[in-house]
Amino acid sequence: MYRQELQRWEAARATFEMGQAALHEKYRQLFDDWKQRKTSFDEDQQKQQSSNEAKLLAEPDFMAETLGAVLGELEWPLETMINFDIADAGRLVLLDVDLPEIEDVPGAVARLAANKRRLLKKQKSQSILRQEYAKHIHAIGFRLVGEVFRTLPGVAIAIVSAYSQRIDKATGRTTDDYLYSVEVDREMFGNVDFSSLEKVNPVAALAAFPIQRRMTKSGVFKPIDPFVEPGKTSSETGVRDSNQSSLSNVEPKRHSVEAAGCVDGSHYTDFVERVKQLKRAERHEEAIALLLKLVEAIEEESRAAGEGWGVAPWYFEQLAILYRKEKRYADEVSILERYEAQPKAPGAGPMRLAERLEKARQKLVGQRQSGV
């Protein structure tokens, strides 16, 4: 009896050990295969990294794609729109920044009462508001320069020209007034102590570089002529700022083109501040209704102007932003596809909206799958 049990146990043990040996062999084969694939993957990644590093130094299209992706992921406390161009064989980046308005800066400061049962709010003085706004908009430029130099190692100079919407007293229309334009050299920017950024005043930091700026000590800005290339402004190069008003020498075709871009007797560019006011007041439906009219006018103007006249992306993007806030992903996809079908002006806008379209499509699929 004992011998029989022992024989059965030995047979079971032998079967078990054979199974274990087979599992170990299978594991070894799988592990060897994984090591080979990992080695191949690491080599491919190294080649890709080397290739990308070379492209970031020599291929402006790849540089633009990479920088556009980085800038598109930046988050801002206040709405900030960025366009850019790459010039001089990739050694120069020019950024155009649509700044938030001073009205977007919180106008009051809150603190707890002594009994910690009430929240006390105190309005800021106009002087403090202007100083906070000046610091904020210069910090935008400072951050963008850092992102450019971090992302594109071959860029030697970054020019940031920042503008805001204001009423032109000569025409009554809203125009884009440049508030500052700064030319930053990579080597000089490297002198900033990035380990102590809390001690850096962005207003003073940008003033250390060649800068076009007319700002009073109290933080009041007057329009300036921006740099369009290192050391030269648009007036010095003979390039007219397209945002400046002109009441004379306007060709008849331009009159007809501008008329095509009008809504209720005013050009679509005159409604920028109204759109921002509606957004600040969270009157989203009114803002959407207005933007849809403006988009139609923009498309009409583009058709009237003919080939080569790109549509303004800002208005399409604002609709997309509002639709996403309302979780109306189908409408967001629709307006972005509508923009996709239009002729486009150069800059980062088309690339940014193309990336947004892909994300909107993903959100729409997720929404439909969840049944929300």
> For the ranges 142-156, 222-236, 242-256, which has the lowest average pLDDT?
242-256
Residues in the chain, overall count: 372
pLDDT level of residue 169 (50, 70, 90 thresholds)? low
pLDDT value of residue 303: 85
One DSSP character per residue, 161-175 reads: EEEEEEE-TTTS-EE
Average pLDDT over residues 95-100: 92
pLDDT value of residue 347: 55
**Domain residue ranges in the chain:** 1-58, 60-246, 250-372
DSSP H stretches of helix in the chain: 2-58, 60-73, 126-151, 186-189, 202-207, 234-237, 252-260, 272-280, 284-305, 313-325, 329-340, 349-370
pLDDT level of residue 253 (50, 70, 90 thresholds)? very low
Q: If 0-12 CB within 10 Å is exposed, 13-18 middle and 19+ buried, where does residue 5 land?
A: exposed
pLDDT value of residue 304: 84
Average pLDDT over residues 242-271: 62
> For the ranges 72-76, 130-134, 251-255, 297-301, which has the lowest average pLDDT?
251-255
For residue 285, what are its two tokens? 């439906």
For residue 354, what are its two tokens? 């193309």
Higher pLDDT, 97 or 253: 97
Distance (Å) of CA 28 to CA 2, 21, 23? 38, 10, 9
- Amino acid, res. 12: A
pLDDT level of residue 348 (50, 70, 90 thresholds)? low
Judge whether 132 and 105 are in contact, CB under 8 Å: yes
User: Torsions phi, psi of 161, nearest 5?
Assistant: -120, 120
